[in-house]
Amino acid sequence: MKGRNGMSMRNAGLLHPSIEKVVVIEGTHAASYAVKLARVQVIAAYPITPQTSVVEKLSEIVSDGELDAKFIKVESEHSAMACCIGSSISGARAFTATSSQGLALMHELLHWAAGSRLPIVMVNVNRAMAPPWSIYVDHNDSLSQRDTGWLQFYAESNQEVTDTVLQAYRIAETVSLPVMINLDAFVLSHTSEPVALPKQELVDEFLPPRKAPFKVDASDPRAFGALIGPEAYMEMRYKLYQAMEDARRVIREVDRDFAAKFGRSYGGLVEEYMTEDAETVLITSATAVSTARIAVDELRSMGFPVGLMKIRAFRPFPVDEIRELAKRVRKIGVMDRSVSFGATGIIYQETKAVLYNAPDRPAVFGFIAGLGGRDITPETIKEIFSYLLNREEPVSEAVWVGLKTAAADRPEPPFPENSAAMKSSEGV
Amino acid sequence: MTKYNYATVEEMPPLAFSLESTRMIPTGSWRHVRPVYRDKNSPCHVTCPAGEKIPAYFELVRQKKYEEAWYKILEDNPLPGVTGRVCYHPCEGQCNRAGYDGAVAIHNIERFVADRNLQNKKLPAAVESPKSEKVAVIGSGPAGLSCAYQLSRMGYRAVIYESDHEPGGMLRYGIPDYRLPKKILDKEIKDIETLGVEIMVDSRIGGNVAWSELERYDAVFVAVGAARSKKMETPGEELKGVYSGIDFLRELNTGKVPKIGRNVLVVGGGNTAIDAARSAMRLGKRVTVLYRRTRAEMPAVPEEIEEAEKEGVLFQFLVAPVGISGNKGKVSGIELVKMKLGEPDESGRKRPVPVKGSNFSLKADTIISAIGEEPDLAFLPYSFLKKGIRLFVDDDYTTGVPGIFAGGDAATNPNGTVVNAIMAGKEAAISIHEFLGWRSRSNGASHDVVAPEEVNTFYFPHENRVEVPRQTVQKSKSTFSEVNKTLTEEQALTEAERCFTCGTCLHCDVCMTFCPDVAISKDESGEYVIDYDHCKGCGICVEECPRGAMELVPEGARETAEEVKTA
Amino acid sequence: MGQIKYQLPPEEVLAPGHFACPGCGATLTMRYALKALGRKTVAVIPACCWSVIDGPVPYSAAGVPVFHTAFETAASTACGVKAGLDAQGDHETTVLAFAGDGGTFDIGLQALSGAAERNEDIVYICYDNEAYMNTGIQRSSATPFGAWTTTTPTESPKAEKKKNIVEILAAHRVPYIATASVAYPDDMISKIRKAKDIRGFKFIHVFSPCPPGWKFEPEDSIKISRMAIESKVFPLIEIFDGTDYRLSKEPEGIPVHDYIKMQGRFRHLDDEKIGLIQKNVDEEWARLCSKIVPAMQVSHAARDEMKGGRKSSRARGARGTGSAKKKEQSARR
């Protein structure tokens, strides 16, 4: 279940002069319209539930002549990415969309795209990996691709999907790296929300035609990606690493520019909610953030100093933002919709990692929730907060929230039973 | 692995792309064998006694440069019209195409070139500067003509003394018209005279011209040939109706018709015997050739024997004359003994041995004895060293008497052929040149000969050898007009195309076409250049060369100017 | 008449100094392909010998832009390049997918099939050296029956027949398929040029011998290629629209034995096994001929016309130019 609309809509309202029209569309179509606005030149895609409506809508858009793009209806996601790579190295703006197994099949070429420094933008509808078959949301598909050199964004709302696709091209083409925009299966992909579509001419100003710094060009023939020896491979990787580092700055700048033009901002790599005076903050991402906003509001109304940090960009990871947060809070909980087997939830893992060398290290708690489409409700979030408020130190690296288990270490029962404890820890 | 030419990561381009061509990479260092262009000899060229540059003039023929082709032949042989008709063409026997789809008709092409230039009198000028020395040549047969011609080309003044009324020696008097029309011979001798060679006819040394007259010359070349028939040494040889082959042909060649009977026996197996037999046929006689060995051992040119057979000449093998019977001083028959073949003799042929008690007789009214010719050396003033019946000469044609050289049939080691005489004349001219204090130019040519397996026959689609146009047998039997005709231009071109041109680069581009290393190119002059910085020595160019004009040499062997030559 | 000669386009696009082994067929294939296609070409090269041959960073031999791509993506990446160029208004540049047999017959087959089915406007050249040569001579589905490779040792050489990739492509009904050989460069170049001018998917299957992989001396590369054609092991054909088969060159029909015996990879085969190969070649040839019959008449007529009444019955060498023109016309009908 998804809560109310994200922060973005509240920021902008639906009357900003940049808006061409407001439509009520599902998340997949929010991606499709952004692709049209971005004047993508080549689309290559292969159907997979629940991504299909992205490409179905795009097929209509291209067929209707609303977008002058080549749409290659390939025979696999692997070929979809190969086509994107090919068109991108030729200098064109390329797009694809996939989900789950399709993303996994692309894995090799995700490396290829990033290693080739190609600004491809891909929408991935987060869906759990099989087996057993599941078509519902979790983030293991995309988070498994974290080391491929792709920027990763997680969208909270359909508006954010549209806006992030537009931002993504600008970012990608600035840092010469590919960008993946993730949206939760069904919860976002198939949920209709009002989306403000900006005016094309403003988008064109924001996102001018791609000028590839290098491409396959018969008038300047070069070979790309040939064999390289140990004496230079590392430097090439370092370049990619640096580009990703640089992307932090670029993401923030682009978000600021975007806000200036369109009146909506997403805070760059993260968005914070009620963290100014919070002692306990939950870090999470995607649609769960909207749900968490409700829980935070409720807990705030009950007097608990809790807050929320939305991980918008997972790659590059918001190191500075989290360290900054750590200076201000006593406890951080991280709710992952993923699990790295043999380790923990993935964002939890990374959050701890960035804090280890930080001067301020609050206690960090890891929660795994919502795998394979298990609903994350305000109650789920409150259960997590309850757990956080009741403990000073984590006793487990991975608390499986809502797990049907007889085991001892499970989140505390929800309020009001433990409200006293919470209040005492809060010191109010 | 090569270095990325940047010191720091900051200087490097954003990703791994190429900055330059692999041309920078000297892959030639991988090579352990090196392809080189090296022209080699064709087997026809090395087999031709006159040393005619057959592949070279064939190429000119293919380009329809018939005059240039003629000049190319003339470098080695002043009588292509003659040899194009009467040469026994050993070149064709060695032709690399023989084992593929039939030897190239080199002989006929030579004749085509000569005949194509029948109206052309513009012989090439002397190739060297005029010299003061004079050389006398005794005899105007092929050896004498060849020697005087070559000397003249070198800038000497050469004077030929000819005892007969007309020049040419055996070419004129020994070869019947149906094989060599007089007008061809006359034309080519005239050409030699045009070049500056002086021919003194009716000048018999030791006869109307004293030997001492030769003392004003700086050198003398004795080329009197072998114009005297050997005796059969058989009882009855003096009978009327017994001719020597030479005398018989001489009479015919001076326009007379010898009075011979209807039933003619010719003794011998050489060209003289066959010429005499075929001539007698043309006089309407019944002719039988008697030979003491078998057909395989006959020294006559096989085609001539075939022609004779077609024309109706009969052959009886393994018989030798033991006596000639007569009636009233005139021949009436011959007694023969049957022979069998024994061990090989010094000539390599099986020695015929008489079969005891096998004597038998044949009737005849004319017997032509053609068992061989010998030189008449009676005119020589000093006692020259001889071997058998011939003047002994060293490999350089010196006789032992300073300044006196000899060659052709009069000297040792002839094979009695026109082309060998031409070779002797040419080589003797070089010896004389050296004797007169000059250094002859070494041509420095390779001694390698292209073997059949070095020819890449893929490049040569099968094509039958040309059919030489001939007069009908019916006509041949009754006339002395030429039996074999000259090839038409179309035929000559087709046939010339069949030539593999062994060992001579024709710039066909096959080497360049198949080089995986893009290491062969052509310079401005159209010559091939091998880029040894990149050639990996795979050897495809050498293997694919249609004509064996390239080879692989071990890397490390110093390359010489010739090696990098350029076809 | 006279000597067979080749008149290739003079421009050398490929540079020397590349990293091919001596006598490499794949390199000649590229050299001819670039001569045929010219500089206005983008080459997409998946993992294969050519990933190495083109040269390490920062060098390149090809003389045209090269994008090195993943093993199974020659066709799909090329489609992307083509679409990208089209989208940017460049309809002139030829996009060439240049892959080995492994990247074509095996791992790249899906992408190849996809591109063929979509009739993408690219030229796909498979240089077939009949095994994974770059990785060290492992068997592929292009490896012929009986051949040794490092994964089919002589004790148990490859027991299966070579995959018929051309038939697979023909089943896609693409506008143009041709087979070619490095031993017949003029034929190859004319086919690749034809491919360049035809819109839609073009597949050229090139017989590209590998001296180290097949175990023969590098100088014999051309000879062996020629024998493969003349023994009918690798017929030179064209297929228009997947149905219209044309024979480019009548093979002489030399015994397969002669071809087999040139190569160390077949050294372990006894006469019985070679007999099996001959039988298979004969059967495949008969099968091909049954499809090719009407076209053969055309090509005979064209050849006779071209020969101008030449007596020789053995037409050696690639002499398809005359008939090629006719075919081109029919291709555009």
- Residue A1: the pLDDT is 34
CA distance B174 to B177: 10
C158/chain B closest Cα distance in angstroms = 28
Q: Per residue of chain B (567 residues), give pLDDT as tens.
A: 345 567 888 888 888 999 999 999 999 999 999 999 999 999 999 999 999 999 999 999 999 999 999 999 999 999 999 999 999 999 999 999 999 999 999 999 999 999 999 988 776 666 678 889 999 999 999 999 999 999 999 999 999 999 999 999 999 999 999 999 999 999 999 999 988 899 999 999 999 999 999 999 999 999 999 988 888 888 888 899 999 999 999 999 998 888 889 999 999 999 999 999 999 999 999 999 999 999 998 989 888 999 999 999 999 999 999 999 998 889 999 999 999 998 888 777 788 999 999 999 999 999 999 998 889 888 888 778 888 888 899 989 999 899 999 999 999 766 788 999 999 999 999 999 999 988 776 655 567 899 999 999 999 999 999 998 888 888 888 888 999 999 999 999 999 999 999 999 999 999 999 999 999 999 999 999 999 999 999 999 999 999 999 999 998 755 544 444 443
CA distance B492 to B462: 17
What subunits touch chain C, counting only 3 or more CB pairs under 8 A? Answer: A, B
pTM: 0.88
B1/chain C closest Cα distance in angstroms = 7
CA neighbor of C220 nearest in space, from C186, C187, C183, C194: C183
| Same domain flag for A209 and A279 | no
Confidence of residue C116 (pLDDT cuts 50, 70, 90): very high
What DSSP string runs through B77-92? -S-HHHHHHH---HHH
| Same domain flag for A83 and A175 | yes
Contact A236, B15 (CB under 8 A): yes
From chain B, the residues in CB contact with C49 under 8 A are: none
- Residue C295: the pLDDT is 47
CA neighbor of A334 nearest in space, from A398, A378, A278: A398
Say whether B134-227+375-435 and B20-39+505-554 share the same fold.
no
CATH number of the structural domain spanning residue A184 = 3.40.50.970
Report the share of chain A in percent with pLDDT over 90. Answer: 88
Q: What is the pLDDT of residues A101-155, one digit of tens each?
A: 999 999 999 999 999 999 999 999 999 999 999 999 999 999 999 999 999 999 9
CA distance B258 to B281: 13
**CATH of region B231-372:** 3.50.50.60
Lowest mean pLDDT among A268-277, A310-319, B291-300: B291-300
- Give yes or no for residue A421 having a pLDDT over 80: no
Domain ranges in chain B are: 20-39+505-554, 134-227+375-435, 231-372
User: Is any Cβ of chain A less than 8 angstroms from the Cβ of B7?
Assistant: no
| Residue A2 belongs to some domain of the structure | no
Cross-chain Cβ contact A221/C56 below 8 Å? no
Phi/psi zone of residue A268: left (φ > 0), alpha (ψ -120 to 50 degrees), beta?
left
Contact A355, A281 (CB under 8 A): no
The domain boundary residue, chosen from A230, A262, A294: A262
Among C25, C58, C316, select the one facing B4 at the smallest CB separation. C58
CA distance A84 to A140: 23
The domain boundary residue, chosen from A243, A262, A281: A262
Q: Which amino acid belongs to residue A394? A: P
Interface-testing mutation among B18, B32, B34, with chain C (most C C-beta atoms within 10 A): B18
Cross-chain Cβ contact A239/B12 below 8 Å? yes
Among B2, B9, B17, select the one facing A224 at the smallest CB separation. B17
Phi, psi for B31 (deg, rounded to 5): -75, 140
- 3-class SS of residue A205: helix
CB atoms within 10 A of CB B445: 13
Cross-chain Cβ contact B19/C17 below 8 Å? no
- Residue B400: the pLDDT is 87
- Residue B382: the pLDDT is 76
C-alpha pair distances (Å), C38 with each of B516, C34, C181: 17, 5, 19
Among B21, B464, B531, select the one facing C61 at the smallest CB separation. B21
Residue A336 domain boundaries:
270-426
- Residue C333: the pLDDT is 36
CA distance A202 to C148: 65
Cross-chain Cβ contact C17/B23 below 8 Å? yes
Report the share of chain C in percent with pLDDT over 90. Answer: 86
Q: Which residue has the tokens 């940049």?
A: A18
- Residue B455: the pLDDT is 95
Cross-chain Cβ contact C111/A216 below 8 Å? no
| Same domain flag for A191 and A316 | no
- Residue A417: the pLDDT is 45
Helix (H) or strand (E) holding B191: helix B182-195
CA distance B366 to B411: 32
Helix (H) or strand (E) holding B42: none
| Same domain flag for A279 and A248 | no
Report the share of chain C in percent with pLDDT over 70. Answer: 87
Candidates 3.30.70.260, 3.40.50.970, 3.30.830.10, 1.10.10.10; CATH matching C25-331: 3.40.50.970
CA distance B567 to B501: 12
| Same domain flag for A176 and A245 | yes
- Residue A158: the pLDDT is 97
Cross-chain Cβ contact A236/B15 below 8 Å? yes
- Segment A64-81 shows an average pLDDT of 97
Cross-chain Cβ contact A226/C80 below 8 Å? no
- Segment A247-269 shows an average pLDDT of 97
CA distance B225 to B417: 11
From chain A, the residues in CB contact with C41 under 8 A are: 218
- Residue C311: the pLDDT is 37
* Full strand arrangement of the beta sheet holding B314-317: B242-244, B366-369, B263-267, B286-291, B314-317
**C44 DSSP assignment:** E
Q: At what angle do helices B489-498 and B54-62 cross, to 10 degrees?
A: 130
| Residue A330 belongs to some domain of the structure | yes
- Give yes or no for residue C324 having a pLDDT over 70: no
- Segment C291-298 shows an average pLDDT of 61
CA distance A146 to A317: 10
| Same domain flag for A161 and A233 | yes
Cross-chain Cβ contact C12/B510 below 8 Å? no
ipTM of the prediction: 0.92
| Residue A101 belongs to some domain of the structure | yes
User: Is any Cβ of chain B less than 8 angstroms from the Cβ of A130?
Assistant: no
Superfamily of domain B134-227+375-435: FAD/NAD(P)-binding domain (3.50.50.60)
CA distance A97 to A30: 12
Cross-chain Cβ contact C61/B17 below 8 Å? no
- Give yes or no for residue A256 having a pLDDT over 80: yes
From chain B, the residues in CB contact with A236 under 8 A are: 12, 15-16
Cross-chain Cβ contact A117/B14 below 8 Å? yes
Confidence of residue A3 (pLDDT cuts 50, 70, 90): very low
| Same domain flag for A141 and A36 | yes
CA distance A87 to A109: 14
Domain ranges in chain C are: 25-331
- Residue A420: the pLDDT is 40
Mean confidence (pLDDT) of chain A: 92
CATH C-level class of B20-39+505-554: alpha beta
- Segment A308-313 shows an average pLDDT of 98
Contact C197, C262 (CB under 8 A): no
CA distance B497 to B494: 5
Confidence of residue A205 (pLDDT cuts 50, 70, 90): very high
B50/chain A closest Cα distance in angstroms = 59
| Same domain flag for A253 and A322 | no
- Residue B355: the pLDDT is 93
Total number of domains constituting chain A: 2
Task: List the 25-84 stretch of B: residues with Cβ below 8 A of C.
Answer: 25-27, 30-31, 62
CA terminus-to-terminus distance, chain C: 33
Instruction: Kindly state the tokens that stand for B339.
Output: 């022979």
Q: Which amino acid belongs to residue C166? A: V
CA distance B170 to C68: 79
| Residue A201 belongs to some domain of the structure | yes
Confidence of residue A411 (pLDDT cuts 50, 70, 90): low
